[in-house]
Structure 1
Amino acid sequence: VCVCSISSSLLAGFTCTRVVTLTKARIPRLVRACRRRGRQRVILQETQLTCMYNLIKNETDVTSFNLYPPDVLLYYDYSLVPQANCKSYFQELAEADFSVFSTTLQFKRAELFTNARSCLGITGTGLSENNVMVLGNMCCTLDSSVIENSDPSILEKLKNCKDFTSQQVTAMETLLLSGNTTYGAPSTWNGQTLEDLEILPLYLTQPFYEKFDTVFNKECFLFFGISYFLGVLLIPDEECTSGAITQVTISDPTFPFDYTTAAQFNSCLSATTTRDNLAAITQAVDDTEYLRIVLDKLQEVGHWADQVKVLGPASRTATSEDISMWNITQIDTLSDLMNSANGEWDPTLVSSTTNSHLECGGH
C-alpha cells in the first residue's frame, strides 16, 4: 500500500510495536508521511513522537527538517542540530503543537526557547517581527513579559494557541490597548475587530471589552466566534484544502503525502500542471487511483501526444479506448511504454498498445 494513500486517522494509530514488521527503508517514509497540514494534520501523542524520533535519528536526512512532522522536531536532541542550520530547524518547528508535551517533559518548552534565543541572537525581553515569524507556534509558550514587549505581529501567532495563562492574556490586552497594532486605537474598535482577532476575544477580559460600544459586548462575540469556526470547518469536500499542486509542490520529497485522498489530489491538481510536470509526477506517485487521475488530467489538455513515452506507471491505468488515441509513431516510445519497471500490462491491452504503434505508421 502506498503510504501517500493512508488516511490521517490511520497514521494517527502509529506505534513502535506495529512498525517493527516494516522494512528499514519504509519506516522513515511512514514517518515522513505524517507531515501533513491543516485539516489533514495527523494528531500524534508524545509516546508516538518520541518513538518516531528514535526510529529516524540515525537517518542521513534527519537534519533535513522540512521532511519530517514538526511535532517530531520537538523531541530532537538539540545538541545534534548543526548550528549553521539551526535557524531552519526553528522555522520548521514553528508549526509544531507545543501543547503536546507531557508534564514530565514540560521543561523542554523553556529549553527550546533558550536554544532559539542563542541560535537567532535574541537579546533583551521582546522579539522582533522577524523572530516572531521564525518562532511561530513557540510564541504560545512565552512568558507574559516577552509577549508584552514583542512586535505586535506576535498576536497573529497567538491565534494558533490552544490556551493561555491569565498572565499571557493580560500581556495580549496590554499590546492591544496600546493602539500600536494592526487593529488600531481602541476608540476605533468594532464588530469587524472582533472578527479579525479570530479566537483571541474568547480569552480576553473586561479591560478589552469595555473599549467597545455596548452593542459589541462579550456575549455578542460568541456569534462572531461561532460564525468564524463554522466558516473554517464547513469547507465543501470537493474544494482543494491541501494546497494547489505546483512545480514546487511536486519537487518536494514528501509529495504527494499531503494529499491524503484521491478526491483532494484530483481537486488540487490542474490539467496544465500535469502536462508540464508529467515525468516528475509519475515518478513520485505510485498509487493506482492517483495515477488514473494523472492520466485523466492529461487527457483534458491538448498537445500532449509527445509525452506518451513518459507516462510511466500511469500508462498501466489506461483503457483500450485511451490507448487508441495515443500517437505512438516511434519504436523508442513503444519501448518506453512496455518497460516492465513501470508495472505489468494487462495482457488484453498489450495488443492495443502495439496496434496503436502500427496504425501510426510504426514498424
Structure 2
Amino acid sequence: MPSIIMGVETSCDETGVGLVRLHDDGTVELLADEVASSVEEHARFGGVVPEVASRAHLEAMAPTVRRAFESAGLELSDVDAVAVTVGPGLAGALLVGVAAAKAYAAALDVPLYGVNHLAGHIAVDTLEHGPLPSPCLALLVSGGHTQLLRVDHIASKITEIGSTVDDAAGEAYDKVARLLGLPYPGGPPIDKAAKSGDAQAIAFPRGMTGPRDAKFDFSFSGLKTAVARWVEATESRGEQVPVADVAASFQEAVADVLTAKAVRAATESGIGTLVISGGVAANSRLSALARQRCAEAGIELRVPRPRLCTDNGAMIAALGAHVVAAGCAPSAMDLSANPALPVSTVSL
C-alpha cells in the first residue's frame, strides 16, 4: 500500500501542496503543508479573477512543491501516489493542478488519484483528530460553498442533506465587508471588527428559518440585502455607520443559522459528531456558538485548526490517503477537471 501521498490543490486562489504518510492502521500523518496565495492580486478587484488565479498557479506550482519537500525532509522519489483536486472549482485553475499532478505521477511512475475538493475539507480533520466516526455530519462553510453533509465513509459515501440556495456564507461576508469599507477577503476583517461591536444592536433576518422553508437549506442573499439597506438608510440620515455593531450583528445572524441547522440535522439524524470545515470555520463566533450548542445537545464538535480550514494541499493529500486505504482504483491519465463535480463523487 502506498505510504507517502502528495496532494495538489488549485481550485481557486491558493496553490497548495501537501505531503502525508498513510500508516498501516489507516491513520494519516501530516508531513508538510505549503500554500502560495494569490489573494493580494485579487483584492483590488474585490473578488477572485479566474485568469489571474490560473496564471498565479502556474508561477507558484514548482516553488510550492519544492518548499513542501524541503519542509518534510523528503525527495520526490519518496512519493508513492499523487492526489489532485479535480473539482469543484474554477476551470482554468483546476486544469493547472491536474496537469501538474499528471506530470509528477507520470515522471515518478506512481498512481494518480483525482479527488473532490469538498470532501478534502472534511478529510483534513483526520490529520488533527484522527479517524472520522461513521456516520458523522459535516458543515462545510466557505467562500463558494455552504453545505450540510452526511458522511458515512470519507472515501466513498458522502450525501448532501442541505445547501445554500443563493450566496454562500463566505460570499456574503465578502459583500458585507465591501459595504462597510473593509478589505477583501471579508471574513477576517468582519470577525475582527465584530469583537468590539454589539451582536444584538441590529435585528438582521435569519434566512430560510420559517416553518415552510427547507429545514436544512441556507440563504444569505436576503441578509446581505438587509445589511445594505440598513447601511444606506443610516447614511441617508447623515449618521455615521457603526461598523463594529453592523459587523457583529451580521456575524451573529450567520452563525446563528449555521449552527442551529447543523445541530438540528445531527439531532434529528441521531448523529453524535459534527465536523465544521472550510474557510469560514475559522470564524471565532461560529466556532464559539457551535461549541455552546453542541455541548448543550451532547454532540461532539470537531473543527480543524484555522490553517487547515482554508484551501490547502494537506486536505487533498489526506483525502487521497483515505481513498488509497479504501482500495479505490487510481484515475486514468486522461483525467480531466470537472468544475461542477458533485460532493457525492469523492474520486474519479
Q: Which has the higher contact order (CA 8 A, sep 6+)?
A: 2
Q: TM-score of the superposition, structure 1-length normalised?
A: 0.23
Larger radius of gyration: 1
Higher share in strand: 2
Q: TM-score of the superposition, structure 2-length normalised?
A: 0.23
